[in-house]
Amino acid sequence: MRRQFSVGLLAITIAIASPSFAQKSIVVSSTTSTEQSGLFGFLLPIYKNKSGVDVKVVAVGTGQALDIGRRGDADVVFVHDKDAELKFLSESFSTKRYEVMYNDFVLIGPKADPAKIAGGKDIKLALQKIANVKTTFISRGDKSGTHAAELRYWKSAGIEPNKDMGWYKDTGSGMGPALNSASAMNGYILADRGTWLAFKNRGDLEILVEGDPQLFNQYGVMLVNPAKFAHVKAKEGQDFIDWIISKEGQEVISLYKIEGKQLFFPNAK
């Protein structure tokens, strides 16, 4: 809205913000991998240009992201731990979960590879070898989707690691900082492929184990239930979800690449 004021002989036009033209925004609580991989930096400006809605991301581990949703401090949650997501649904903090995309986890380690796991495709066997050699393993330890997956893999290997074991380092940090720790200590670490491909401070680290079907990593998105929290921006949040799972949104996800490598693979149903 514009209003004109006259000061003497000078007419001044001033633009006054109208509530109807105020910037719309939503809050998405999400895992660190969607941000640290660069996906959101690529995808969200495209969505904002299309919709006019500013998506504000709180990037934390999946467990924390879901807890933010449980407090009603986000409109949408976008995470990657299906069991935890289904629990969120069963508690009525959302009414529907949508699958969006996937990538996979990879086991990273030093080129010297003291556990002799390079080239393997069996995550269970690789972790058993690491535990037998008692060589440094970096864990996120932050209740993230990656941390939950890591614990599942240790359990399948028949091992219950803890920070009292000198070789098992529980960092309580996001994927990027945990990778920095692994690089500094020349240790092994489980990472999502997307964040690894975007990670620059690799030092002597490389992918040693990949391709096990157990390493599949699915991402899901949910609207926080407005019946529980009246302030949730249900329309704008659902519009974002609808776009992410639409043909256009899925194509944008597939277009995001680093050095020619696709980081995420859309699979919305």
Q: What is the 3-state secondary structure (H, E, C) of the chain?
A: CEEEEEECCEEEEEECCCHHHCCEEEEEEEEHHHHHCCHHHHHHHHHHHHHCEEEEEEEECHHHHHHHHHCCCCCEEEECCHHHHHHHHHCCCCCCEEEEEEEEEEEEEECCCCCCCCCECCHHHHHHHHHHHCCCEEECCCCCHHHHHHHHHHHHCCCCCCCCCCCEEECCCCHHHHHHHHHHHCCEEEEEHHHHHHCCCCCCEEEEECCCHHHEEEEEEEECCCCCCCCCCHHHHHHHHHHHCCHHHHHHHHHCEECCEECCEECCC
Between CA 54 and CA 38 the distance in angstroms is 17
Confidence tier at 22 by pLDDT (50, 70, 90): low
Do 205 and 108 form a contact (C-beta atoms < 8 A)? yes
| Domains and their CATH numbers in the chain | 15-102+218-266 (3.40.190.10), 105-215 (3.40.190.10)
d(CA 186, CA 21): 52
Cβ atoms of 37 and 189 closer than 8 Å: no
Q: Is pTM, for the whole model, over 0.95?
A: no
Confidence of residue 19 (pLDDT cuts 50, 70, 90): very low
Lowest mean pLDDT among 3-12, 95-104, 239-248: 3-12
**Residue pLDDT, tens place only, 234-265:** 999 999 999 999 999 999 999 999 999 999 99
Tens-place pLDDT, residues 174-193: 899 999 999 999 999 999 99
**Backbone dihedral angles phi then psi of residue 4, each to the nearest 5 degrees:** -110, 130
Q: Which of 18-22, 61-65, 98-102, 119-123 has the lowest mean pLDDT?
A: 18-22
Residue at token pair 């996979």: 104
Residue with tokens 């996120």: 140
Burial of 35: CB neighbours in 10 Å, binned 0-12, 13-18, 19+: buried
pLDDT in tens, 123-144: 999 999 999 999 999 999 999 9
